[in-house]
Chain A
Amino acid sequence: MVAVPAPEATHSARALFVRRAAWRWEEIAFWICAALSYFIFPGHLVLLTQAMITGLFVVSLDIMFGYAGIPSFGHAAFFGIGAYTAGILARDWWGDPLLGLVAGALVAGLAGAICSQLVARLHGIAMLMVTLGIGLICYEIANKWNSLTGGDDGLQGMQITPLLGLFTFDIDGRVGFIYSFIVIFVLYLLARRLVNSPFGLALKGIRENVRRVPALGIGVRVQLAMAFTISAAMAGVAGALLAETTQYIALEVLGFDRSISVQIALVLGGIGSLIGGMIGAVVYTVLRDQLSLINPAYWDFWVGLVLVIIVMSGTGGVTGILRRSVDWVIARVKR
């Protein structure tokens, strides 16, 4: 007998997904602030662009870590692959920025699809180790393959043509900002659509109880591999964006430090909410820029302390704290 869901059941299931996909106020507030920052801080557009690109990178990790529960110490590998793909393409063949983005996404996604076959069959610490190994191997390849990547000196000589043939990337970063803003916003919408779909719900199920999900007829490995691949492709776009807007690639894009700092930024902002990743990245990037002027060592200390406090208190990062305090204020006002 074929089980046909009752009409009201599908209706309520749809209602569930609609409710889950509703825009929250912190998302709206973030994107409005991000758009306004173009007018408020015209002198800091380069930094803001980098903060948003880091945001996209953190969001890509959030899909994998926050939703699917795959921890990674090597996510910079895909960011770096995207960056080097766009960079090498612009140096040796075509400098069209959009083409670079697509190429970065494809190559990083392909690498992610291959790696996902290794990662998806593991769990816990073993996952962490294999992603770490992948990250370190990619770093070593870029480091040693001088003729292709420029090695330790970084990749130079990218020729980025004007966007759509109309807008030349300027030194103040105005075009870079708007270009990045639009690309990141579109990808954010896609990511939102993804995590609020049945697929996103399945990922959460795997994260919460990996044994029970197969009983619902969902294959764990396939879902994890898909999440990993999508996350890698998205990280690749972020890398390609950074390469195109700075027109230079340092070897550090692939570094272990970057893999760690993206994890830190995610926890700082709040795991498993997408917007938390954007907020965490902006807070992290801007604070580091300001505080490391004083002394980089102190900055690391406070970052570590904040991380420990967030994990120990379980507050859900900046977004969680914001959300709770606003809820508290609203409750007060209503009463």
Chain B
Amino acid sequence: MVDFVNILGAGVAYGVLLFLMAGGLSVTMGMMGFANLAHGSLSMLGGYIVVMLMNWYGWPFFGALPMAAIGAAAAGVLVERTIFRRFYWGNQLDQVLLTIGIVTMTVAAATFVWGAVPPAVHVPAFLVGRVHFGWFDIGSYRLFLIIFGGLLTLALVLGLEYTSFGARIRAAVDNRRMTVSCGINIDRLFMLAFAIGSALAGLGGGLAIYLVGLDPAFPVKYLVYLLIVVVVGGMGSIRGTLAASLALGICDVVGKYYIPYLGAFIIYGVTVVILMFRPNGLFGRGH
């Protein structure tokens, strides 16, 4: 039982990480109808910014994390303004091919700049080791991830539900034409949403290094998981994405621990079955 609680904690921490990386993707897919398979590349960029600042320039971990978010947001907006915006609401196959091309390029570029060897980072001492709560204990870093991710999620959900900006985003996800008719500058809204999504991805990448490692193949490795989370959760639904991230994180960790030879089958199989019956995802509304 104690064992199970520990594994559950690890699964939740992993799910939070997936949510940070997939949240922005869900919004772009739901809001702009844009299948950005290169979203994981932004996470990788965030990760390498943290590595560079810490290992080359001696920045502290918590100083480097915001820079990861800012750097990824800047890169995201740059690509959005120059390339992606031409493809909004266009042919989805074109979007897929375009962003796959970008993934391939970023993987090669990362190998060129940072090498193929996974770098190591040193997190602050209080995040190393385990925390004990009476009868169960959890890795400090995982606990930090859960708390930090929880707060961030809360901020996101509250921001979406209770601010005017959030209301505009929800309006754009639900009905783009009506939103434009209300005089909302949807182009600027898209840019801001894309920047926030990219910042989250960068942050997720920075946080991921200590837990799952970082190498140039990162965008490809997590592409599958991010897509599963977004599509199963329902595009554009933050709650759906959160639920799917946690479910996938827990299933993956629990599956790998208890039934190692069946773990992957269960995840892919469940994904296929869910999509059979709910093509728009669990929480998605059809467009």
Q: Which residues of A contact B (CB under 8 A)?
A: 65, 69, 71, 118, 121-126, 128-130, 132-134, 136-137, 140-141, 144, 256, 260, 263-264, 267, 297-301, 303-308, 311-312
Contacts and interface: CB of A to CB of B under 8 A. Distances in A.
B111 A297 contact: yes
B261 interface: yes
Interface string B253-272: 00000000100110011011
Given A128-B96, A301-B108, A304-B104, A136 B224 contact: yes
A312 B268 contact: no
B180 interface: no
A260 B97 CA distance: 9
B228 A263 contact: no
A303 B104 contact: yes
Interface string B102-113: 111111110110
B275 A126 contact: yes
B112 A130 contact: no
Contacts of A122: 275, 279
B187 interface: no
Nearest to B263: A140
A264 B101 CA distance: 8
B264 A129 contact: no
Contacts of B100: 260, 263-264, 304, 307
B2 interface: no
B227 A132 contact: yes
B271 A308 contact: no
B276 interface: yes
Q: Most B CB atoms within 10 A — which of A125, A306, A307?
A: A125
Interface string B8-48: 00000000000000000000010000010000000000000
A118 B107 CA distance: 32
A130 to B, nearest CB: 5
Contacts of A118: 272, 276
A257 to B, nearest CB: 8
Contacts of A123: 279
Nearest to A308: B101
B101 A311 contact: yes
30 contacts: A118-B272, A118-B276, A122-B279, A123-B279, A124-B92, A125-B35, A125-B227, A125-B231, A126-B231, A129-B227, A130-B272, A136-B224, A137-B268, A140-B268, A256-B220, A264-B97, A298-B108, A298-B112, A301-B104, A301-B112, A303-B101, A304-B103, A304-B104, A304-B105, A305-B101, A305-B105, A306-B101, A307-B101, A308-B101, A311-B94
B231 A129 contact: yes
Contacts of A129: 227-228, 231, 271, 275
Q: Most B CB atoms within 10 A — which of A264, A300, A312?
A: A300
Contact of A136 (B106, B109, B268): B268
B25 to A, nearest CB: 11
Given A129-B271, A130-B275, A308 B105 contact: yes
Contacts of A125: 29, 35, 92, 227, 231, 235
A305 B103 CA distance: 10
A125 B116 CA distance: 31
B279 A126 contact: yes
Contacts of B29: 125
B156 interface: no
Given A137-B265, A140-B268, 15 more contacts: A123-B279, A125-B35, A137-B272, A144-B261, A256-B220, A299-B108, A301-B105, A301-B108, A303-B101, A304-B102, A304-B104, A304-B108, A308-B105, A311-B94, A311-B98
Interface string B223-246: 010011001000100000000000
B94 to A, nearest CB: 5
Nearest to B261: A144
B108 A69 contact: no
Contacts of A133: 268-269, 271-272, 275
B286 to A, nearest CB: 11
Q: Most A CB atoms within 10 A — which of B83, B224, B280?
A: B224
A65 B96 CA distance: 13
Q: Most B CB atoms within 10 A — which of A71, A121, A299, A311?
A: A311
A221 B160 CA distance: 39
A137 B271 CA distance: 11
Nearest to B279: A126
A287 B92 CA distance: 28
Contacts of B98: 307-308, 311-312
Contacts of B1: none
Contact of A140 (B109, B228, B265, B272): B265
B93 interface: yes
Nearest to B92: A124
A289 B227 CA distance: 31
B223 to A, nearest CB: 9
Contacts of B109: 301
A311 B101 CA distance: 9
A300 B108 contact: yes
Contacts of A121: 276, 279
A220 B261 CA distance: 38
A141 B261 CA distance: 10
A312 B279 CA distance: 29
A148 to B, nearest CB: 15
Nearest to A300: B108
B109 to A, nearest CB: 6
A190 B190 CA distance: 47
Interface string B199-237: 000000000000000001000100010011001000100
B227 to A, nearest CB: 6
Contacts of A71: 92-93, 96
